[in-house]
Amino acid sequence: MEDDNSVSKVLTNDSLLGEIIPRLHCPTCYVRAALASKRWLCNASTQATICSFRTQQSPHLLGIYVLCDFFSRPEFVPLPDASMPELKPALLHGKFGFEDLDTFALRVWGCRNGRVLYGFGPSFELPLGPAVQTPLRCHGETRAVLPRLPYTICSPHAMLLPNDDDDDSSCYRVDIEQRDRMVYAKVYVLRAGSWSIHCSASADLAGSLVHILQTTMLMRGTIYMFTTARYILALDLTTTKFSTIDLPEGMQFEYSTNLAPCQGDDSTLYLFHVSGDELTVWLRRMNDHSIGDGSSAGEWILRDTISLLETCGHLAEQGWDLEDRCEDFVSVVGVGDNAEFVFLELEQTGVIVYMHLKSRKVKKVYQRHPYNDFSIRVLPFMMVWPVVLPEL
């Protein structure tokens, strides 16, 4: 009887439960513990408990969204991992597609932490604003339409999901305007169902006129925007100041998909670069840079150099002419956090391949339609642990 009382004191103590539940190593056990009672669900659903558990569980690639401009419906392609049988129920019961939407003018802005942010093209008069889809939500509606921004009718430069667990916002919107050498940015934030202006900033871009690309990324309170010049524009949301980050020595913007960024842990910025038949991966620790004078310190470090002819040579039987060494025969169309993997399109065949950087494992995951000549992007959808728990 004394042992039973001791167990009861532990299992009904919120402080102790908050220490025990994050230490469960199996995601299935975590979910079962959350469903044991309302008390346990409350403890398992706190942001601190979820963050503590996720630090011990690496996310797994569940599938990809294949996007072709505004001219075709985004397509979800499942990529089951045979070594992770627990992922199969998620693929069977998740609601990933957009088949119920009667328009093709749909743009997926990003995927993060089990959520998909999307919107509609500016040329289509639709009653819907931006929306967030949560494909793996256990119960209730998987789609939430967000309020429209009341301040502007122009098309956003970027819509971004927060990447920081401490950020309580739903999403950010970035508007960019360029006048000669000047660039103006206005950032809006959606928090608690209401839009507000987060910050405004401007900068004088030295040299010739620079075009700011759609490639935009939010990492640890800083927005990174790629340009056609040899630098990246960084906007610090705390100081509301711009800075510039030079590309690695000798690297050039050649076409829209020969450069691709991805974020890493500890504010590490990764950069993929394709030139000819070579793929290089660079990293730079962004918490070491200062922006007091508008320029950034720190150094780019070359992490990987990969021969695409060697790693993708087995695809030659699908019609890829290895002797044709045109500069843009390979495009970077998608990347994974921490430069874990990359998606490449082989331009001659329209084949999209997945490459795991550490193992150099390469496999075909998608075939472009032969009559589709629009640019393609791939957004990975990661299975994060734990899954979205039922609402209290």
Residue holding tokens 């970035």? 174
- Greater pLDDT, 106 or 303: 303
Mean pLDDT of the 45-49 span: 72
Mean pLDDT of the 214-235 span: 91
- Greater pLDDT, 6 or 65: 65
Supply the pLDDT for residue 372: 74
- For the segment 328-372, what is each residue's pLDDT rounded down to a tens digit? 578 999 999 999 999 999 877 889 999 999 999 999 999 988 777
Q: Looking at 70-84, 154-168, 269-283, which range is the least confident one?
A: 70-84
Supply the pLDDT for residue 23: 73
- Listed by start position, the domains of the chain span 2-47, 58-383
Collect all residues with Cβ–Cβ distance below 8 Å to 326 and sequence separation of at least 6.
347
- What the block records as the tokens of 392 is 């209290």
- Greater pLDDT, 56 or 289: 56
Supply the pLDDT for residue 324: 53
Cβ-based neighbour number of residue 4 at 10 Å: 8
Supply the pLDDT for residue 102: 62
- What the block records as the tokens of 194 is 């209401």
pLDDT exceeds cutoff 50 at 290: no
Rounded Cα distance between 366 and 282, Å, is 26
Q: Tell me the average pLDDT of the chain.
A: 80
Give which of 90, 123, 93 is closest to 106, Cα–Cα.
Answer: 123
Phi then psi for 200, rounded to 5 degrees?
Answer: -130, 145
Rounded Cα distance between 206 and 185, Å, is 17
pLDDT confidence tier of residue 391, bands split at 50, 70 and 90: low
Mean pLDDT of the 64-91 span: 78
pLDDT exceeds cutoff 80 at 286: yes
Mean pLDDT of the 317-328 span: 50
pLDDT confidence tier of residue 321, bands split at 50, 70 and 90: low
Mean pLDDT of the 157-167 span: 84
pLDDT exceeds cutoff 80 at 386: no
Supply the pLDDT for residue 218: 94
- For the segment 193-219, what is each residue's pLDDT rounded down to a tens digit? 899 999 999 998 876 667 888 889 999
Collect all residues with Cβ–Cβ distance below 8 Å to 47 and sequence separation of at least 6.
165
- What does each C-alpha distance from 248 to 222, 235, 259, 357, 358 come to in angstroms? 20, 20, 12, 20, 22
Mean pLDDT of the 215-240 span: 92
Mean pLDDT of the 209-234 span: 88
Mean pLDDT of the 66-85 span: 78
Q: Looking at 112-116, 123-127, 157-161, 226-230, which range is the least confident one?
A: 123-127
pLDDT exceeds cutoff 50 at 295: no
Mean pLDDT of the 113-140 span: 73
- What does each C-alpha distance from 38 to 6, 8, 49, 52, 373 come to in angstroms? 21, 15, 15, 20, 53
| Cα dihedral sign, 325-328-333-337 | positive
Q: Looking at 37-41, 58-62, 230-234, which range is the least confident one?
A: 37-41
SS3 state of residue 52: helix
- What does each C-alpha distance from 326 to 8, 37, 116, 330, 382 come to in angstroms? 70, 61, 35, 9, 33
Burial (CB count <10 Å: 0-12, 13-18, 19+), residue 211: exposed
pLDDT exceeds cutoff 70 at 296: no
Rounded Cα distance between 56 and 108, Å, is 29
N- to C-terminal Cα separation, the chain: 33
- Greater pLDDT, 391 or 383: 383
Supply the pLDDT for residue 70: 58
- What the block records as the tokens of 214 is 């759609």
- Greater pLDDT, 124 or 377: 377
Percentage with pLDDT > 90 across the chain: 33
User: Which overall architecture, per CATH, does domain 58-383 show?
Assistant: 6 Propeller (2.120)
